[in-house]
Amino acid sequence: MACPAKSSVQAALVVLSVAHLTAALKCVCQLCANHTCETSADGACWNSVMLVGGKERVDQTCLTPAEMRGQLFCYGSWNVSKRNCCFTDFCNNHTLHLHTERPSQEEGGWSRLQWVILVLVLSSVLCVAVLLAVCVVQGTHRCTYGRAHKQDPEEPLDDQVLMSPDKCLRELIYDMSTSGSGSGLPLLVQRTIARTIVLQESIGKGRFGEVWRGKWRGEDVAVKIFSSRDERSWFREAEIYQTVMLRHDNILGFIAADNKDNGSWTQLWLVSEYHEHGSLFDYLSRFTVSVEGMILLALSIASGLAHLHMEIIGTQGKPAIAHRDLKSKNVLVKKNGTAVIADLGLAVKHDSTRNSIDIPTNHRVGTKRYMAPEVLDETINTTNFESFKRADIYSLGLVFWELARRCSARGFHEDFQLPYYDMVPSDPSVEDMRKVVCEQKYRPNVPNQWQSCEALRVIGKLMRECWYTNPAARLTALRVKKTVSQLSVNNDVKL
């Protein structure tokens, strides 16, 4: 039982912490106008220092309540990074340093022996450093897993190991997938990465803000920039990407999320792997694909969707996720001819223990042209999570149709077109789509020529089985994946 004195102290602490977690605060902020920021209610002032590229990097700013709930903002170890949250006006108005608060040496100076050992250790470290430098100069590859810091899988990764200056993206992403939570890098590491990216050129525009190509330590990354108006979308997409066990070869590789306040407005960044071919829409508009190329793309899209839809049970499990905006503009093509599913901003997760969906859903979200019939006529049963997966499968069928048209088999292929290009105007309304898809029950045309090529015949049959009017009759993503997988074996195509 807790002793009375101890429990009254605890009670006082609780009261104190509740008291300071209420009003707005003014804090020192290096990057803000007048070097001052103001928190929302329940926010905190934040002070931090961490090693970046061997130098101390100090950060003073305001924290939102959401950030305070994050894993790491208010904690830190003295020799790696130090972070402080405090709760009075300008309480972060001092500069933190690493290494300055080492526990003081026991009384008395060092013995001669200790000095000798120190000199020996320092000179061996110097030798190793010189040797390493020589290796680097001679062209040793910068990014190999073998040489990377061997981390005990049971130990949490510390920020310094994660941010060591020779880390490349591939290693960081590897660290992410093996780090304890399996859900992404610590928030502070994400922030540090995001703040050392140099933007290069705008590469795309979608529903929210703009997508840029940026450079991080010489490597390309993609940065999706949301305006502060779209904060909820930024938060949601970052949250979905950090779902435990979501990482997959055919889901866009998430790297970091960051909110940067420049004084007058907040820029919200989402950093991911960059794919120079851009979206499947861009790719198919420019190029045709061989039979093997079509199978590879179809198999990777189906594999990505099957992974998204699948629930993995267990402590390191993942919930089933439905995308809700699958289309050729939200699939990206990798250099090796495979694809990843991107833009998870509208996705929903299934909580199978409570049989509920993690956010309130309105009936009609997504892109009208790709909406399933039950979404268009609002007969979709939103209380059943399967409904969202089935609507994704309908959209998958349309993406397969766009892909198959560009397959150049025996020299024959068609031009690139969006689904229903010949039946609705270029920016169709829900009503335009509903008439064609629900009332007239039209579907994109599957040309007869496809029958003469096994791969096109199989993909053609698959798409028809994806776009049935009855959602329950449609194939599952796993079924589609298995069928395309068989096709890939028959055609000697490897994912």
Catalytic residue annotation: 325
Between residues 32 and 399, which has the closer beta carbon with respect to ligand ADP? 399
Closest distance of CB 392 from Mg ion, Å: 15
At how many degrees (to 10) do helices 477-490 and 385-405 cross?
A: 30
Which of 275, 324, 369, 434 lies at the binding interface for ligand ADP (CB under 6 A)? 275
Closest distance of CB 333 from Mg ion, Å: 14
242 lies in the binding site for ligand ADP (CB under 6 A): no
Tokens encoding 354: 């409570």
The Cα–Cα gap between 303 and 62 comes to 41
The Cα–Cα gap between 299 and 322 comes to 18
The Cα–Cα gap between 306 and 248 comes to 11
User: Residue 256 binds which entry of Mg ion, ligand ADP, none, with Cβ cut-offs from 5 to 8 Å by kind?
Assistant: none
Which of 82, 83, 167, 224 lies at the binding interface for ligand ADP (CB under 6 A)? 224
The Cα–Cα gap between 414 and 404 comes to 9
247 lies in the binding site for ligand ADP (CB under 6 A): no
CA angle 216, 188, 270 (to 5 degrees): 55
Length of the chain equals: 495
Between residues 112 and 335, which has the closer beta carbon with respect to ligand ADP? 335
Region 292-331 residues binding ligand ADP, contact defined as CB under 6 A: 329-330
64 lies in the binding site for ligand ADP (CB under 6 A): no
463 lies in the binding site for ligand ADP (CB under 6 A): no
Between residues 236 and 474, which has the closer beta carbon with respect to ligand ADP? 236
Backbone angle region of 111, left / alpha / beta, with phi > 0 → left and psi within -120 to 50 → alpha: beta
User: Residue 171 binds which entry of ligand ADP, Mg ion, none, with Cβ cut-offs from 5 to 8 Å by kind?
Assistant: none
How buried is residue 333: exposed, middle or buried, by Cβ count under 10 Å (0-12/13-18/19+)? buried
User: Residue 203 binds which entry of ligand ADP, Mg ion, none, with Cβ cut-offs from 5 to 8 Å by kind?
Assistant: ligand ADP
CA angle 193, 194, 200 (to 5 degrees): 115
- The CB density around residue 340, as the number of other CB atoms within 10 Å, is 22
Between residues 83 and 329, which has the closer beta carbon with respect to ligand ADP? 329
The Cα–Cα gap between 291 and 270 comes to 35
* Footprint of Mg ion (CB under 5 A): 206, 330, 343
Closest distance of CB 321 from ligand ADP, Å: 16
CA angle 357, 398, 422 (to 5 degrees): 130
Closest distance of CB 170 from ligand ADP, Å: 15
279 lies in the binding site for ligand ADP (CB under 6 A): yes
Closest distance of CB 330 from ligand ADP, Å: 5
272 lies in the binding site for ligand ADP (CB under 6 A): yes
Region 394-413 residues binding ligand ADP, contact defined as CB under 6 A: none
Contact flags string 89-118 toward ligand ADP, x per CB under 6 A: ------------------------------
Tokens encoding 353: 């223990």
Q: Which residues have CB under 8 Å from 6's CB, separation 6+?
A: none
CA-based nearest residue to 324, from 201, 416, 240: 240
The Cα–Cα gap between 118 and 121 comes to 5
Contact residues: ligand ADP, CB under 6 A = 203-204, 206-208, 211, 222, 224, 252, 272-275, 278-279, 282, 329-330, 332, 342-343, 345
